[in-house]
Structure 1
Amino acid sequence: MRPTLRTLALSALLASWLPIAACAAQEVPARATPAAGATSRPAVAIASAHALATDAGLEVIADGGNAFDAAVAVSATLSVVEPISSGLGGGGFFLLHDAKTGRDVFVDARETAPAAATPEIYLDKDGNLDRDRSVNGPWSAGIPGLPAALVHVAQTYGRLPLSESLAPAIRIAREGFPVYGRMARGYAARREVMERYPGSRAVFLADGDTVEEGELFQQPDLARTLEKLAEGGFDGFYKGETAQRLVDGVNAEGGQWTLEEVAGYRVREREPVRFGYDGWEIVTAPPSSSGGVALAQMLQILEPWDLAALPEAERVHLVVEAMRRAYRDRTFYLGDPDFVDVPMALLTDPAYAAGLRATIHPSRATPSDLLSGQATPLEDEETTHFSIIDSDGNRVGATQTVNLLFGSGLVAPGTGVLLNNEMDDFALKPGTPNAFGVMGFDANAPEPGKRMLSSMTPTFMVSPDKVAVLGTPGGTRIITMVLLGVLGYADGLDAQAVAALPRYHHQWLPDAVSIEKDALPPDVVETLRGMGHVVNVPGEAGDGRRSSDSWGNLQTVSWNRVDNTLEGGTDPRNPVGKVGLMDGLGALP
């Protein structure tokens, strides 16, 4: 592996909220060494976007669970404490490695399209995309997949009954947790939409006024929904009282769900995308995610270059050009493999990557319109990710979402379940950008039961001396953040440095490079502009989308096989994230 690119300053993270809590991030990455012979309380590393979720995973490990039980606990707890980002009304992807069998499996719990949600439903009287209908309220919601994933992972791979792995989430939903700044700001941004719906008002205005930072936020209806899931498994959510309330809640607001299509939801187990890069095996997300295919293309385009040895502007130029080409193919070819023929063998072939590499000018930007080719029938920050490794070598990378801030804004009355607005991730009108500025065509058009294309990219990296798990929210920027994280690990960075890496992004259209504030030195920005790149710097006016000051919430853990230590990194951009480490004797101080 290549030498480290740079030393990064690391931010202190939120201190523990529960007695079981492990290390918060520090000046050096948090590390744990498994205790010899420890079996009842094995070593584990967990990195998640909220301390309570990390603690829930550690609690379940302490009760005898494995990484998969911990994943159920972390996922369910994030569904309680991060309604801004994910929840039982959304979906997600679980990338699993079962150490006993050596098998990697991808659990696809992406939401599916209701039968009534035809493209015509989303057009206004002039034939234009009705943005309000596509991102707000009942028509924006797909059939949720996350509860089915929790049941599937627990029953197929876990050691503990679902009732034990869901217990922390149920407790926190009932007893409440302190509202944090991002949640309060997100509610303020979505308040007008959320307060249209009585079910949402009953949850978020329960005390008579708006959600405020520091107040205790309790969700008794959600606690009861989780209890029914714990008691009844799949049928406890997708059939019976909960399912009826979901259907009634959607249809009362003008949507068209049926009990049959809710009960008909199923997760899919898929073979991950697998390829090599710089001595690492990369295992990552297949369609209905676009992330793994794009990651394979970008890394295979870049592999012949020794990026660490190049001047920074030249390195960024090459990485951006790889991004540009992968996102162009994403637009044209990717969709739900149960409905469309995705040319996986071609898109992930090193020879195809070599052909794309040959079109890159070493010192000039390629205008995106030159890559459009034939007129082939030409995600938000508010997603969440967690990473887990246990002492048996089991590992989980999971990314879950409700799409935009607080999803559709619609809570089905009596359930506490905030529904997603993932229908906007379909190509509802071919060639019209969605909320993230990306377009799609027939491969990603809605059909009954079809999964919408996603950018979520949970990823494993495996080398002879190290294993890493990483992923992040960030809409279409997810894929490029994971790319930069992979390059960071390949360059020798530790887990916390990878989580803190500065970020830049290009997605083919709009034809502009977005960068975080201070991610690139001014001279590098000017050099890139001299090469023909449009670079959007926070605070400056630019072409295409303006850059955010920062984005993403990367969570990563790694296992050093040489000295048998675990470490984790949580994104310093998110003050409530946490790395939790447990050795064979319990949580580390």
Structure 2
Amino acid sequence: MRVALRVLLSASLLYAGTTFTATPLQAAPAAKTAAAHPPGTAIASAHALATDAGLEMIRAGGNAFDAAVAVSAVLSVVEPISSGIGGGGFFLLHDAKSGKDVFVDARETAPAAATPAAYLDEKGELNRDRATNGPWSAGIPGLPAALVHVSKQYGRLPLKTTLAPAIRIAREGFEVYERMSRGYAARREVMERYPGTRAVFLADGDTVEQGELFRQPDLARTLERLAARGFDGFYRGETAKLLLDGVRAEGGQWTVQELAGYRVREREPLRFGYDGWEVVTAPPPSSGGVALAQMLQVLGPWDLAKLPPAERVHLTTEAMRRAYRDRTFYLGDPDFVDVPVATLTHPAYAAGLRASINPDKATPSDLLSGRPTPLEDEETTHFSIIDAGGNRVAATQTVNLLFGSGLVAPGTGFLLNNEMDDFALKAGTPNAFGVMGFDANAPAPGKRMLSSMTPTFMVSPDKVAVLGTPGGSRIITMVLLGVLGYADGLSAQQVAALPRFHHQWMPDAISIEKNALPSDVIATLRGMGHTVNEPQEASEGRRSSDTWGNLQTVSWDKRRNVLEGGSDPRNPVGKASVQVSAPRR
């Protein structure tokens, strides 16, 4: 595996023009025994202001969970293109004192009015505009409830402290970056339908442009109410009224009861072994953990390090293909459907999947199903944290597509998500990411839509790693490649820079980043029967798909007692930093 991964890593030189702002500790002499505690705090996020806010909480006496609230809130301010308090997310937490891992599910929920029939046009076809734009595309937000829950249950500092950086940045403004201005241009037509959105993004009479100062005073006031009143500061009272009025004014049908009735869920994470590591990851309603367990257990018996690169990519692709097929048919909200997690993640089931792989030839995807068979932009964000006490957080949050639904309820200052498109609104019809679903992921009142978000921990006797990424349906395979990179001994920054390839069962093709695979490897894969889709030039109004994801990761080498951070070089405004603690007495 080491040789093959380093071949792929060489392609990361494409991104050498970006700046990596991590500040890893100097390597300490190798210790005979593992350190009991990290030497400080490491935080990696998609924006430097968010990383700095997390470190500010550590200096104020907070822990990783306080830092997570601050980082999440600041990302909600500075990355409206990717996430926000109008969306949701997953927080994977490790409490060092108790040794407990917990998964905080803050996924959005379906309004009662959002039946499958509500998303069909007069011909019975999926109304794509209603599914992805405006009030009908939005689920009840979960992220504000998660901030309150994580702060109250696991943090040390009050919300007024942890939300203060986000409030300050919303009021005073931040500099618009290229990705944000380009994303606005792609979604401008939809966003300018709504007066509340125009009031935020056209406040100076013109569209947001790279380099200008972007202020959000309404969002600052919304966050102040959340800081002062907690859950009731968002889901009841003034913010709730503004939100409900704005949704209804655009034809939506949210109710007071379903907004006030939203609750986060604490779930038991999935855990399994791979190559000497314990992998701790997301359970349903994320599809990521189940798929990750399947893929790694399918690949486990192969000595990948001894295989030629094309054969390694072939086997990895076949593992991806089978996991995504199962995702389509079996996974959904475990509060509503019986998800066969134990079966899908069992080593014996993985052995059966492995036995169906031809080591020399691609398996056509339509041969894997006994029933009729019926792509990533810059959405979603992730951050990773380890603190000096050994607490850790892997958190992925989103509003789904670029700028979510495009709808800001007047006076609230934040965009609503368009997560309803992650349901199987019409069975067998692909969503915006090209993945499809059936009854297990059909909408129902209060149900949580299936997600690909895969916040993950890796733990071995010598090392701990925290990782995750945005990327729509490609999230799971990017985390897979990151896990394989850490298992091969790569550093945090090398893992963040790894080139990427992906297969999701349908469509039946391997997609790759530009220059991710050498031409001879691509030729060999095609000779084995694979379709390999190389990046195409961006069409008008669309960005190029040359690069994917925005992986953020931190690691702790317990033998050397060294912390490292890795921030994806594809995103020049991201930042990974290490803050050294005072020596323990």
Contact preservation (8 Å) 2:4, 2:308: no
Deviation at residue 14 of structure 1 after TM alignment: 7.2
Deviation at residue 548 of structure 1 after TM alignment: 2.0
Instruction: Report the equivalent of 1:567.
Output: 564
Is 1:107 paired with 2:104? yes
Instruction: Report the equivalent of 1:232.
Output: 229
Contact preservation (8 Å) 2:137, 2:421: yes
Instruction: Report the equivalent of 1:300.
Output: 297
Instruction: Report the equivalent of 2:422.
Output: 425
Deviation at residue 43 of structure 1 after TM alignment: 1.3
* 1:492-571 mapped onto 2 (5 Å cutoff): 492-539=489-536, 548-571=545-568
Contact preservation (8 Å) 1:380, 1:476: no
Contact preservation (8 Å) 1:31, 1:568: no
Instruction: Report the equivalent of 1:381.
Output: 378
Instruction: Report the equivalent of 2:450.
Output: 453
1:223 to 211, 220, 225: 220
**Could you report, residue by residue, the CA deviation over 1:80-130 in whole angstroms, capped at 9, with x for unpaired residues?**
000000000000000000000000000000000000011111000000000
* 1:309-388 mapped onto 2 (5 Å cutoff): 309-374=306-371, 380-388=377-385
- Distance between the aligned counterparts of 1:282 and 1:451, measured in 2? 24
Instruction: Report the equivalent of 1:288.
Output: 285
- Distance between the aligned counterparts of 1:13 and 1:336, measured in 2? 42
Contact preservation (8 Å) 1:43, 1:581: yes
Deviation at residue 32 of structure 1 after TM alignment: 8.0
Contact preservation (8 Å) 1:13, 1:576: no
Instruction: Report the equivalent of 1:194.
Output: 191
Contact preservation (8 Å) 1:33, 1:583: no
Contact preservation (8 Å) 1:382, 1:474: yes
- Distance between the aligned counterparts of 1:276 and 1:348, measured in 2? 11
Is 1:127 paired with 2:114? no
Cα 1:5–1:507 shift into 2, 3 Å: closer
Contact preservation (8 Å) 1:42, 1:61: no
Q: Which sections of structure 2, spanning at least 5 residues, go unmatched?
A: 30-37
The aligned amino acid for 1:229 is L
- Distance between the aligned counterparts of 2:54 and 2:42, measured in 1? 10
Deviation at residue 499 of structure 1 after TM alignment: 0.2
Instruction: Report the equivalent of 1:144.
Output: 141
Contact preservation (8 Å) 1:106, 1:269: yes
Q: Which sections of structure 1, spanning at least 5 residues, go unmatched?
A: 16-22, 35-40
Deviation at residue 3 of structure 1 after TM alignment: 7.6
TM-score where L is the length of structure 2: 0.94
1:213 to 206, 210, 221: 210
Instruction: Report the equivalent of 1:444.
Output: 441
* 1:60-139 mapped onto 2 (5 Å cutoff): 60-139=57-136
1:263 to 260, 264, 269: 260
Is 1:278 paired with 2:252? no
Is 1:155 paired with 2:137? no
**Pairwise CA RMSD:** 2.1
Q: Give the 3-state SS of the residue equivalent to 1:476 in structure 2.
A: helix
The aligned amino acid for 2:194 is Y
Q: Give the 3-state SS of the residue equivalent to 2:92 in structure 1.
A: strand
Deviation at residue 5 of structure 1 after TM alignment: 3.8
Q: Give the 3-state SS of the residue equivalent to 1:527 in structure 2.
A: helix
Instruction: Report the equivalent of 1:414.
Output: 411
Contact preservation (8 Å) 2:39, 2:561: no
Deviation at residue 563 of structure 1 after TM alignment: 1.0
Deviation at residue 373 of structure 1 after TM alignment: 1.9
Contact preservation (8 Å) 1:49, 1:576: yes
- Distance between the aligned counterparts of 1:62 and 1:308, measured in 2? 43
Deviation at residue 549 of structure 1 after TM alignment: 0.7
Contact preservation (8 Å) 1:14, 1:578: no
- Distance between the aligned counterparts of 1:48 and 1:12, measured in 2? 19
The aligned amino acid for 1:317 is H
- Distance between the aligned counterparts of 1:408 and 1:317, measured in 2? 37
- Distance between the aligned counterparts of 2:149 and 2:259, measured in 1? 16
Contact preservation (8 Å) 2:22, 2:578: no
Q: Give the 3-state SS of the residue equivalent to 2:547 in structure 1.
A: coil
Deviation at residue 230 of structure 1 after TM alignment: 0.4
Q: Give the 3-state SS of the residue equivalent to 2:104 in structure 1.
A: strand
**Could you report, residue by residue, the CA deviation over 1:281-310 in whole angstroms, capped at 9, with x for unpaired residues?**
000000000000000000000000111221
- Distance between the aligned counterparts of 1:47 and 1:99, measured in 2? 19
Instruction: Report the equivalent of 2:482.
Output: 485
- Distance between the aligned counterparts of 1:547 and 1:307, measured in 2? 32
Cα 1:474–1:368 shift into 2, 3 Å: same
Instruction: Report the equivalent of 2:164.
Output: 167
Q: Give the 3-state SS of the residue equivalent to 1:327 in structure 2.
A: helix
- Distance between the aligned counterparts of 2:82 and 2:431, measured in 1? 18
Contact preservation (8 Å) 1:13, 1:577: no
- Distance between the aligned counterparts of 2:558 and 2:4, measured in 1? 19
Is 1:185 paired with 2:187? no
Q: Give the 3-state SS of the residue equivalent to 1:567 in structure 2.
A: strand
Aligned length, in residue pairs: 567
Cα 1:383–1:540 shift into 2, 3 Å: closer
Contact preservation (8 Å) 2:18, 2:569: no
- Distance between the aligned counterparts of 1:97 and 1:344, measured in 2? 22
Cα 1:232–1:480 shift into 2, 3 Å: same
Instruction: Report the equivalent of 2:248.
Output: 251
2:389 to 387, 392, 398: 392
Contact preservation (8 Å) 1:515, 1:547: no
The aligned amino acid for 1:338 is D
Deviation at residue 12 of structure 1 after TM alignment: 6.3
Deviation at residue 381 of structure 1 after TM alignment: 3.2
Contact preservation (8 Å) 1:30, 1:568: no
